[in-house]
């Protein structure tokens, strides 16, 4: 039996299930991952890794460990995020998550047939469980390694800004990949990386992410004076803008599809007016949109790319969070051919989008996306209705 056979034999369903229970049972909303990070670091240390909980502050931490190789080969990082988008706290999640918290919205793992259910049990903690069990298998079997194996569990990986609530960091940057950035800043660099994500395929391309804030202007006025004063309610205008945006987003993936990615987009938030004072109209209504961008689509859309409102009101947008896709030029090293049980296999990535375009025939490591230089927010006013 080879070392690879021994490692694979050590990874059993029972161990994976137990690991999924262990990571799901410890709440880790974005900004409060430290307790889970400490548990993961202790298990890595018990498996023989030089491990630590890497604190960003008292609330937030990564877990990272290194299993030394012979030193004459390249290093590999196995990475998984550990924070959940929602908190499992009714006072923070309700009503936007629903009228009540379902069992799968709570950090209480339970078995449902072959599945483990609970907040984040599948995504992202299922990934962390897989990486953890693999790390413990490597630590137990101790195969001969040419390079080091680094195992990292990252805080702040979810696409969210800071949660403003007691018991959470006062910093504004607790999500959007802050844990991974902190890890790299502290020198945890490797030659290659495998990032655990949902699905049963290998993805060698990743979409970028942009958040846009659209402002629809109006006139502040009073209900009793509607018939006497100029009236332009931005909430009503925003309804038309939202409808047109939704239609624009519906076929956005088809317009920007690649062989391995179909970038999506949604309208995630709308705000306008005082909930305490319904007798007046606001002077503005804000719409926030999440748009994923395909490779090479890392520039801000031109003013003509947004759908135009049918009303006579103008509206503007600003780029409030850029996270670009990989540029066309390859800036990273190519991975070698994958292997299974010691036998080399052709590197043909799965085409998850089921497109007619042929997928690439080589697998490559995707680096952490770098933020663009210059101002993050650029204001534009749409003038045409051309599609992006």
- Among 37-51, 112-126, 257-271, the minimum mean pLDDT is found in 257-271
Instruction: For residue 295, give both structure tokens.
Output: 């490779």
User: What are the Cα distances from residue 189, in Å, to 47, 77, 302, 329, 339?
Assistant: 21, 8, 36, 21, 23
pLDDT at 343: 45
Is residue 341 packed enough to be buried (19+ CB in 10 Å), middle (13-18) or exposed (0-12)?
Answer: exposed
Average pLDDT in the 135-146 region? 97
- End-to-end distance of the chain based on CA atoms, in angstroms? 55
Report residue 307's pLDDT band, with 50, 70 and 90 as the boundaries.
low
- Mean pLDDT (the chain) is 83
pLDDT, tens digit, for every residue of 154-165? 999 999 999 999
The whole-angstrom separation of Cα 316 and Cα 306 is 10
pLDDT, tens digit, for every residue of 186-198? 999 999 999 998 8
Tell me: pLDDT of 383 over 60: no
pLDDT at 1: 86
Q: Half-sphere exposure (CA, 13 Å, Cβ side) for 15? A: 14
Report residue 230's pLDDT band, with 50, 70 and 90 as the boundaries.
very high
Report residue 260's pLDDT band, with 50, 70 and 90 as the boundaries.
confident
Q: What phi-psi label fits residue 199: left (phi over 0), alpha (psi between -120 and 50 degrees) or beta?
A: left
What sign has the CA pseudo-torsion 73, 335, 120, 183?
A: positive
Tell me: pLDDT of 75 over 80: yes
The whole-angstrom separation of Cα 104 and Cα 294 is 32
Comparison of pLDDT for 385 and 244, the residue scoring more: 244
The whole-angstrom separation of Cα 149 and Cα 189 is 11
Q: Is the pTM of this model over 0.75?
A: yes
The DSSP result for 157-168, as a single string, is: -SS-----STTS
Average pLDDT in the 46-51 region? 98
What Rg value do the Cα atoms of the chain yield, rounded? Answer: 24
- Among 118-132, 163-177, 191-205, the minimum mean pLDDT is found in 191-205
Comparison of pLDDT for 305 and 292, the residue scoring more: 292
Domains assigned to the chain: 3-202 (3.40.630.10), 210-293 (3.30.70.360)
């Amino acid at each position: 039996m080879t070392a690879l056979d021994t490692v694979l034999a050590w990874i059993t369903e029972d161990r994976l299930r137990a690991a999924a229970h262990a990571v799901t049972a410890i709440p880790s909303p974005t900004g409060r991952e430290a307790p889970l990070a400490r548990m993961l670091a202790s298990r890595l240390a018990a498996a023989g890794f030089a491990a630590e909980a890497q604190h960003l502050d008292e609330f937030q931490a990564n877990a990272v460990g290194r299993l030394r190789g012979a030193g004459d080969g390249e290093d590999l990082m196995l990475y998984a995020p550990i924070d959940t988008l929602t908190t499992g706290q009714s006072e923070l999640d309700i009503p936007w998550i629903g009228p009540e918290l379902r069992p799968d919205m709570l950090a209480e793992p339970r078995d449902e047939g072959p599945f483990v259910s609970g907040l984040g049990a599948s995504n992202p903690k299922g990934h962390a469980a897989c990486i953890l069990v693999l790390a413990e298998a490597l630590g137990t079997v101790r195969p001969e390694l040419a390079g080091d194996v680094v195992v990292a569990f990252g805080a702040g990986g979810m696409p969210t800004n800071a949660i403003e609530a007691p018991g959470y960091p006062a910093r504004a940057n607790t999500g959007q990949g802050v844990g991974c950035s902190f890890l790299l800043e502290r020198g945890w660099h490797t030659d290659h990386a495998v990032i655990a994500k949902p699905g049963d395929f290998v993805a060698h391309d990743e979409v970028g992410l942009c958040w846009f804030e659209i402002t629809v202007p109006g006139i502040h006025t009073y209900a009793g004076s509607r018939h006497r004063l100029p009236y332009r309610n931005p909430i009503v205008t925003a309804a038309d803008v939202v409808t047109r945006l939704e239609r624009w987003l519906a076929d956005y993936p088809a317009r920007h599809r690649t062989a391995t990615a179909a970038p999506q987009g949604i309208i995630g938030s709308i705000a306008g007016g005082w909930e305490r004072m319904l007798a007046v109209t606001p002077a503005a209504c804000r719409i926030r949109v999440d748009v994923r961008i395909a490779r090479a689509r890392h520039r801000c859309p031109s003013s003509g790319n947004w759908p135009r409102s049918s009303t006579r009101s103008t509206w503007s947008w600003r780029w409030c969070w850029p996270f670009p896709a990989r540029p066309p030029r390859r800036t990273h090293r190519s991975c070698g051919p994958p292997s299974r049980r010691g036998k080399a296999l052709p590197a043909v990535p799965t085409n998850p989008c089921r497109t007619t375009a042929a997928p690439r025939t080589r697998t490559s490591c995707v680096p952490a996306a770098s933020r663009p230089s210059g101002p993050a927010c650029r204001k534009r006013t749409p003038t045409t209705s051309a599609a992006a």
